[in-house]
Amino acid sequence: MIALLARASLVHLSACGWLCLSSLSPLRNQGYLNILFIHAALLCLTILNVLRTACTMLHAVVRPELAFTFLRSLPGVRRIVERSKRQILLELEVSLKSGAKEQKICELPTSGLSVEDILKTAARLKNGDYKQLFYASKLTGTIYASDTRHRDLCNTVYCDFAHTNPLHSDAFPSVGRMELEIVHMTSRLLSSDSRIEICGTVTSGGTESILTAIRASRDFICHTKGITNPEMIVSLSAHAAVYKAAEYFKIKIRRVPMDENGRMNILAVKKALRRQTVLVYASAPTYPHGTIDPVDDLSNIALQHGCCLHVDACLGGFVLPFLSDVEHESRVPKFDFSLPGVTSMSVDTHKYGYAQKGSSVILYSTAIMRQFQYTSVADWSGGLYISPTPAGSRSGGLIAQTWAAMLHMGYEGYSKAAHDIFAGAKKLREAIAATEGLELIGTHITMIVAWHTSTGSNIYVLNDILTSKGWRLAVLQNPKALHFCITPANLSAIDELITDLRSAVRLSQTLKTVPGGKAPIYGLAHGLPDRGVIKALLKDVQDVMLNNM
């Protein structure tokens, strides 16, 4: 049977591999992203045909993932796949190099360049960046602080403290004081009880905050309960940083589905609980759909089970607290330290805190929890060592500009920005709900507005049409959807988005593909059951891009 399977697999793979290789030459003059997506799709098609053969022959005798692993291990299959991958990566590399307008600097100049020459080169490089950033931007998310005076303030303060390092607190007590005040100001937004001594630190961004919280939660619960094989429960909508944390810290992930409103499924969480569960991970809101997980229910579960509960409020931490007074059927539910089961929260100050990149805050309900994120060394030959965050040295400039941003915004500034975003999201949601062929995902009105097609239209074709009009939306999967993250930078473009979206919906109902679009690729990748092929190709693509930008 194995020989027959191998023979059938190779027949399909060879045919599709020939198709992949023979299609390369017409694409040489297209942009590198189109080349990447088209050839990645053809590689997926190759594997998909093999898998179809395998599923037909194996039926339910072998689990699909085992069949995929077996097929990829066949020498003939492996050789053809590797040959196709090499060709794809070669085409990508050629495209990147051909698009480079500046000669790459590979070694230090013999003599230092002049200030004028360096600034001119930097300006030429910047000229290739996206232009319409701070007003009427068509980018989803990405740019948050749009006010020129505010950004200038942050830049000025950063420059004044760029040389400082909070690791050397005796030399630079100023940034240590600023970090403490950032944590205090942030924590007071996320707790209705001033008696709770919430503590934390400033990090470089949301991913570091999430990683730090997961590691501290793991070590705390493993220490107190004697667990040696930790697990954490996450929703399918949880931020991708949880997978990075699982890899780094050797934690098994148990993924649970979302309910009909895109929120973490409570019944599934209860079924996933084990003795070794150290953490339940919730979002307020989720990145894909902007829904707020049922943190109140999850708080009770965490208390009953004796595990930690982390709330990812990287997006919502500086928006949701200011919307409690909004009279609407989807009012903000409790999601913060006012719930006794919440043990940690991550809040990005470089998003809706309106500081420059990269800046975030990790908060804990108790000082004991925070200690489990520290690294202390008592017998190092370099002396006694203590570091509160994964990074040793940190930029005092980033801390200082975050502090300045928060003081400049103030409570009223944050409140106004949050209500403006709420109004923009409400307008966009109402327009989508009134557009035949579209359907909203989730009921909460947050900065994220997500939708999918409710008719036979292809959501990815819709995205291609909008892309041709200059929009850059987030493309989602499981389920197939799009989202737009509203910020002060793109708030003034909402009316234009609504107009373009309605036009695109009408056009997508008669158009199967957009020339040069990525709809066929997204659709194929969405349906491919073997995600290992995609993961491996993404790593190779990342290598090429890092080496050739």
Answer whether residue 10 shows pLDDT above 80.
Answer: no
Six token digits for residue 189: 């937004």
Residue 3: enclosing H or E segment and its boundaries? Answer: helix 2-22
In this predicted model, what pLDDT tens digit does every residue of 89-107 receive, in sequence order? 787 777 777 666 677 888 9
Sequence spans of domains, the chain: 2-101+532-548, 192-395, 410-523
Average the pLDDT over each of 4-13, 73-82, 296-305 and give the range with the smallest value: 4-13
Average pLDDT over residues 266-292: 97
pTM score, whole prediction: 0.84
3-state SS, 329-350, equals CCCCCCCCCCCCCCCEEEECCC
Looking from the CA of 181 toward its CB, the CA atoms found within 13 Å total 15
Direct distance between the N- and C-terminal alpha carbons of the chain, in angstroms, rounded to an integer: 47
More confident residue, 395 or 62: 395
Average pLDDT over residues 33-46: 53
Percentage of the chain exceeding pLDDT 70: 81
One-letter amino acid at 207 equals T
What pairing do the DSSP bridges indicate for beta strands 474-476 and 481-485?
antiparallel
Of 3.40.640.10, 3.30.70.270, 3.40.50.300, 3.10.20.30, the CATH number of 192-395 is: 3.40.640.10
In this predicted model, what pLDDT tens digit does every residue of 365-386 receive, in sequence order? 999 999 999 999 999 999 999 9
pLDDT at res. 99 = 62
In this predicted model, what pLDDT tens digit does every residue of 447-506 receive, in sequence order? 999 999 987 678 989 999 999 999 999 999 888 999 999 999 999 999 999 999 999 998
pLDDT at res. 23 = 34
Cis link prior to 479 (omega < 30° from 0)? Answer: yes
CATH class entry, domain 410-523: alpha beta
pLDDT at res. 374 = 95
pLDDT at res. 263 = 94
Answer whether residue 195 shows pLDDT above 70.
Answer: no
Would you place residue 527 in the very low, low, confident or very high pLDDT band (cuts 50, 70, 90)?
low
Neighbours of 271 (CB within 10 A): 11
Burial of 194 (0-12, 13-18, 19+ CB in 10 A): exposed
pLDDT at res. 456 = 67
Residue 98: enclosing H or E segment and its boundaries? Answer: helix 75-99
pLDDT at res. 131 = 83
